[in-house]
Structure 1
């Protein structure tokens, strides 16, 4: 008969490192000799609460989560089945569904990050942030986010691959919470690592394209500091895959947006109607040349691609052409002060809307989730809605936003973009809620230049005197003599924690306020803000 082993009393004291290693601690203060002799950084006999990350989640007092293997496994399973396939939006999800999971078992920082993303994603999907279950998921996410950070706080620098991988996952975590400033700081850190180190080729293949797409966020949300990758895109004679075509157009798009931002003064600032410098024109010509090369290479690739593969990759194909068409427009309007110049690109906007309509008509199209980590169709359809002055086309772009777009795409809130686009359409076509006849007669009529919105800025969500939450929306309009004035309105929002907003082609710029006449602030009714 097998003898029963005598149970030893398990001590509850000791430093955190010794507990994790499951060895007896000498409980030395302030640090134990066990950790010092092993070359480890002793964290003392208790948690250092001040080292916790500022993760903006609700944390109930006196609530502690234990080591729940079942809960951890469920979070990872939810990530694999639900979150990972949706994070990339219309882009190939291979990075999230395969690359990240390959590190899950042997890199604790990655595993903790996966569980954090999973819990935050599920909270967004459930649309119920007030329930006890949602609160528990938030606490769970906080616990694992800080655990991931602690894994990287070692005396030795983490491996460059691990550092870049977790950095990107931290960007995702912050974007999930609409913490734009923190997400952008993580992006800066990741791009600096890529530019100053020599990462493996596979890192440049999988991680660089995502960092490049995320690095453009500052140009949408008021920060003009560039953080792009130093190498210029190389366009092959013919692409070998949609992925290769995507990485090339990503680089061109970044160049286009940065150039558009740098030339803002030619459209709205002190250099209006001034000739562009040779350096600025040279960069514009380079973008035009790259776009021509990209289109030629893509056409050759599709001519050599089986038709069934083109159909199975329809979402990626249409998304690529949305990016291409936006680049075509923005790279040619850097210096325009007359909004009528956008009318030359009505065919580009029409192709964008037709492609989106084709995708929306597919029975097998993916159902939009509440959240995409990367930018999907929302900002591009929004751009078509505000810059294409054909009423039928822009109304269709609005409708397709509701069909194809996630509620939150990166830092963009799709509902807010729809509301803003609807208001711009109303202003430019002179449409009001009660004036149905005007709406009908505007079909086939392009609004005159003085009625067109030049630019807009969305203010932060703020509570009014009546307790309602709203944002101030400032429109930059033109006078008949070519001057600018501001029209300000306020529209209600769902809450102060909504995702931020941005739009291709419209950026926050500094204007001399004494040259502008300010109109009174008008308040929208809550019913009007919801009609999109």
Structure 2
């Protein structure tokens, strides 16, 4: 008879580990912990999503072979004569000998060089390899991708480097038209699979973003989303690491939610279980699921920001609490290690900054008073100090390179550091801290639609409107300024500010600055307390300063100012 009290046997001769890769954890199988990618993932033709922090030092990651957005399912033995040309093109691109600068067109060279030289920000290893190796290789192989990157390089030359062409934009338009025609032809039959078309569409969007034609850029981004969601042929997706590609598209999609007022992300929100997300995904994968959900919520809740509390649906308040709990849980599990090597944690620093900005935005989305942001000083100050330390570390290591004639202003397609810094400088009214944030913005180059020159000049205009004056010299004298945000009362604070294009993207850019956003728009409520008591304060509004009944500016309760946007900062200003 079996003794029921006998203790359960456990394995004592097997080393136990908690450092298996995220993919094996999600599959609930034992990981062999091979570096940089475990053999179980390679054998099963899955992407190894990496290891939790502590499994092996961050510094080793630079020496490891990273995986591409294109699946590692093609081994040398698979490269037989039966393999289609498209599968060969879309195979994993790991050649360390590949030189992205060896392309013949100077504008293709320039476009690839910008992506390779630009900072990593929040990219993971897969995305870093994608932009620096896969994309240049596709430019050599696929005419439509090559044409799109050439148009991007031309746009960068004319609108960022500001070449001396007497007709700025002419060369960009010519190459853009050629690329658009080739991409349209490829979209009919997808002769090389979906990845080249996705890449080409993204670069056409980047061309428009550099010209500040953001509505047209959004059309290309939405086209990319439609292409991916319409693919039902499993053979077309067999060689594609769809999880990594979807994560990249989510990072690009959040530009829509952060740059526009109360606009939800384009990609649909999918419900998830928080515990499973944190266990099964690396930090950036879990965060962007949380951020996507958070910005879908804030877009929905924004309509009630300037309404009486009793008109807010109870389910919105419950959802707000859930979103805040998710953001706080991610932050608690992804602390920045205490180390002197700040640059080795660049991705985590950027991710935390994005999470902190989303946390403050979510917490205040139903609060009409601007003074409520004063309560989030620690979060705002962490954004500034952590990014400041990161940029200082990078500038010290990159100073000799930056002095070279081949150094280029950066362009990062994904979410980076400009949005957290811009949000901080806009909402945290401490004269000391907001100028520190502005100084950091000026070192940040371009990130998707975000432009250091435009956003920096916009913050300067806002400071001038709220404080009564702004001097560029004050950026170097911040230690003499008041650190308390309470020095600016509620009645002087503008709640909404943005730059606008008077020509609605149809006119020409200014010759000197190559900018289309030439007007500053700022709005504030005349009296928040009285407005909340008024009948109009009981009606949800999609745009706070527009009367929903009359569909026109509500001048009774809102003060608006429109004035020229003076670009007072130039490319590279503030860079170390």
Structure 2 length-normalised TM: 0.63
The alpha-carbon distance between structure 1 residues 141 and 339, as it changes in their structure 2 partners (threshold 3 A), is: same
Select 1:451's aligned residue among 492, 496, 504: 492
**Post-superposition offset of 1:325:** 0.7
For residues 196-233 of structure 1, the C-alpha deviation after alignment (integer angstroms, 9 at most, x for no partner) is 43545843233222221222344333584642244345
Counterpart CA distance in 2 for 1:523 and 1:178 is 19
Change (3 A) 1:163 1:79: closer
Deviations 1:378-436 (A, max 9, x none): 22111111211222111111112123x10x332223223222222323333344679x9
Q: How does 1:273-284 map to 2 (within 5 A)?
A: 273-284=309-320
Structure 1 residues 293 and 145: alpha-carbon distance in aligned structure 2, compared to 1, 3 A threshold: same
Is 1:120 aligned to residue 155 of structure 2? yes
CA distance in structure 1 between the partners assigned to 2:198 and 2:117 by the alignment: 21
Residues 244 and 386 from structure 1, CA distance in 2 versus in 1: closer, same or farther, beyond 3 angstroms?
A: same
Deviation, structure 1 residue 329: 0.5
Q: Is the 8 A contact 2:331 2:352 kept in 1?
A: no
The one of 469, 475, 482 equivalent to 2:530 is 482
Change (3 A) 1:161 1:361: closer
Q: Which moved more, 1:252-261 or 1:149-158?
A: 149-158
Matches of 1:214 and 1:85 in 2, distance apart? Answer: 19
Q: For residues 309 and 136 of structure 2, what CA distance do their matches in structure 1 show?
A: 53
Partner of 1:326: 357
Corresponding position of 1:11: none
Question: Relative to structure 1, is the Cα distance of residues 84 and 510 closer, same or farther in structure 2, using a 3 angstrom cutoff?
Answer: farther
Deviations 1:291-325 (A, max 9, x none): 233224324xx66xx969x6443322221111011
Counterparts in 2 of 1:206 and 1:232: CA distance versus 1, 3 Å: same
- The aligned residue for residue 251 of structure 2 is 213
How far apart in 2 are the matches of 1:292 and 1:409? 26
Distance 1:431 1:101, change over 3 A: closer
Of residues 259, 263, 266, the one that matches 2:297 is: 259
8 Å contact kept, 2:111–2:153: yes
The answer on whether the counterparts of 1:385 and 1:393 sit within 8 Å (CA) in structure 2 is yes
CA distance in structure 2 between the partners assigned to 1:398 and 1:248 by the alignment: 29
Once residues 461 and 176 of structure 2 are traced to their aligned partners in structure 1, the CA distance between those partners, rounded to angstroms, is 38
In structure 2, the residue corresponding to 1:389 is in which secondary structure?
coil
Partner residue of 1:420 out of 419, 438, 458 = 458
- Residue in structure 2 matched with residue 18 of structure 1 by the alignment: none
Residues 435-464 of structure 1: CA distance to partner in whole angstroms, max 9, x if unpaired?
A: x9xx9675546122222222234332469x
What is the Cα deviation at residue 332 of structure 1? 0.7
Q: CA RMSD in A?
A: 4.3
Offset of 1:358 from its aligned partner? 0.7
Deviation, structure 1 residue 102: 4.1
Q: Which has the higher contact order (CA 8 A, sep 6+)?
A: 2
Per-residue CA deviation, residues 485-519 of structure 1 (Å, 9 max, x unaligned), is xxxxxxxxxxxxxxxxxxxxxx9556213452576
For this pair of structures, how many residues does the alignment match? 429
| Separation in structure 2 between the aligned mates of residue 445 and residue 150 of structure 1, nearest angstrom | 52
Counterpart check, 1:340 vs 2:375: no
Per-residue CA deviations over 1:68-100 (Å, capped at 9, x if unaligned) read: xx9834444434433444286553532211232
SS across alignment from 1:369: coil
Distance 1:244-1:129 versus aligned 2 partners, 3 A rule: farther
- 2:142 aligned with 1:107: yes
The answer as to 2:169 corresponding to 1:169 is no
The answer on 1:364 being equivalent to 2:397 is: yes
1:455·1:476 contact (CA, 8 Å) conserved in 2? yes
Other-structure match for 1:488: none
Secondary structure at the residue paired with 1:483?
A: helix
Distance 1:200 1:276 in 2: 47
Moved more, 192-201 or 256-265: 192-201
Output one character per residue of 1:317-342: Cα deviation in whole Å (capped at 9) or x when no partner: 22111101101101111110122211
Structure 1 CA distance, aligned partners of 2:275 and 2:107?
42
1:227 to 246, 260, 266: 266
Q: What are the residue-to-residue correspondences of 1:18-29 with 2, within 5 Å?
A: none
Q: Identify unmatched segments of 5+ residues in structure 1.
A: 1-69, 485-506
Which residue number in structure 2 is paired with residue 61 of structure 1? none
Correspondence 1:141 to 2:175: yes
Q: Distance in 1 between matches of 2:253 and 2:455?
A: 21
Distance in 1 (alpha carbons) for counterparts of 2:453 and 2:366: 30
Q: Which residue of structure 1 aligns with residue 132 of structure 2?
A: 97
Where 1:313 maps in the other structure, the secondary structure is: helix
Give the TM-score, by structure 1 length.
0.67
Q: Distance in 2 between matches of 1:223 and 1:411?
A: 16
The residue correspondences of 1:287-326 to structure 2 (distance < 5 A) are 287-299=323-335, 311-326=342-357
Match of 2:226 in 1: 192
Q: 1:99 to 1:482 in 2, by over 3 A?
A: farther
